[in-house]
């Protein structure tokens, strides 16, 4: 058993090293692209054509150019949390600050609002839309305006649904009749 743990630990160490080597290679590739553009006066299209490789497209090269010019942190390009795409558009200093940092998130409650500090890696996709604009991080006031603007766009229904699911139970708000299809929807939501 001790041998298995050592083998797993060694494999994890090799994996981490390989990923870091890949990121280092991306930085070298980025610097090469910048040299090809700035010194050799080649366009991304010309570089892709000369590389003659199906994975080297002008769009891929554009990402490497951003790495080479220090506009984006390479590890942001492989991270898969929802805020990573928003961070990529920010200046490098903001990327470094926020990749392991937190942002204020406005939460609206029945009796008012709260501001929570939330790690960027923990934000949901919808929270990212609220927190980030195309220009950066929204202020709490900007978030409130964003929320209010979205509320205007969501059509309000005045009728109360005849049932709801709460804590794994179906609660009927009023007497109602259900079709087989409606019952199937309820059962699917309970599953």
The pLDDT tens digits for 108-147 are: 988 889 999 999 999 999 999 999 999 899 999 999 999 9
CB 171 within 8 A of CB 186: no
What would the two tokens of residue 52 be? 């003659």
pLDDT of 52 higher than 70: yes
pLDDT at 158 over 60: no
Asked, for residue 28, whether it belongs to a domain, the answer is: yes
* Domain end point (choices 44, 78, 112): 78
69 and 20 in a common domain? yes
Q: What is the pLDDT of residue 180?
A: 85
**Judgement on whether residues 73 and 104 belong to the same structural domain of the protein:** no
The string of pLDDT tens digits covering residues 161-189 is 777 888 888 888 777 777 888 888 888 88
Asked which of 153, 169, 186 is the last residue of a domain, the reply is: 153
Tokens 């898969």, located at residue: 80
Nearest alpha carbon to residue 24 among 79, 68, 63:
68
Give the integer Cα–Cα distance in Å for 22 and 66: 16
* pTM score above 0.75: no
Question: What is the rounded average pLDDT for all residues in the chain?
Answer: 90
| Secondary structure letter of residue 164 according to DSSP | E
Which tokens in the block code for residue 147? 């929320």
pLDDT in the model for residue 187: 83
106 and 71 both lie in a single domain: no
Domain that holds residue 15: 6-78
Residue 67: is its pLDDT beyond 90?
yes
Q: What is the mean pLDDT of residues 35-43?
A: 97
162 with 173: CB under 8 angstroms? Answer: yes
In this structure, which long-range contacts are made by residues 143-146, counting pairs with CB atoms below 8 Å and at least 24 apart in sequence? 143/104, 143/105, 143/106, 144/106, 144/113
Q: Are residues 10 and 66 in the same domain?
A: yes
Q: Are residues 53 and 115 in the same domain?
A: no
């Amino acid at each position: 058993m001790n041998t298995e743990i050592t083998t797993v630990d060694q494999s994890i160490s090799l994996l981490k090293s390989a990923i870091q080597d890949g990121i280092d290679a991306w930085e070298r590739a980025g610097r090469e692209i910048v040299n090809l553009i700035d010194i050799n006066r080649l366009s991304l299209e010309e570089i892709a054509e000369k590389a003659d490789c199906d994975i080297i497209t002008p769009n891929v090269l554009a990402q490497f150019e951003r790495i080479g010019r220090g506009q984006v942190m390479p590890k942001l390009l492989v991270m898969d949390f929802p805020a990573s795409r928003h961070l990529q558009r920010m200046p490098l200093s903001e990327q470094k600050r926020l990749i392991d940092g937190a942002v204020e998130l406005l939460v609206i409650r029945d009796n008012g609002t709260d501001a929570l500090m939330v790690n960027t890696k923990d934000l949901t996709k919808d929270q990212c839309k609220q927190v980030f604009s195309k220009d950066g991080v929204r202020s709490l006031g900007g978030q409130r305006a964003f929320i209010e603007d979205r509320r205007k766009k969501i059509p309000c229904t005045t009728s109360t649904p005849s049932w709801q699911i709460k804590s794994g139970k179906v609660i009927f708000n009023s007497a109602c009749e259900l079709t087989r299809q409606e019952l199937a929807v309820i059962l699917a939501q309970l599953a």
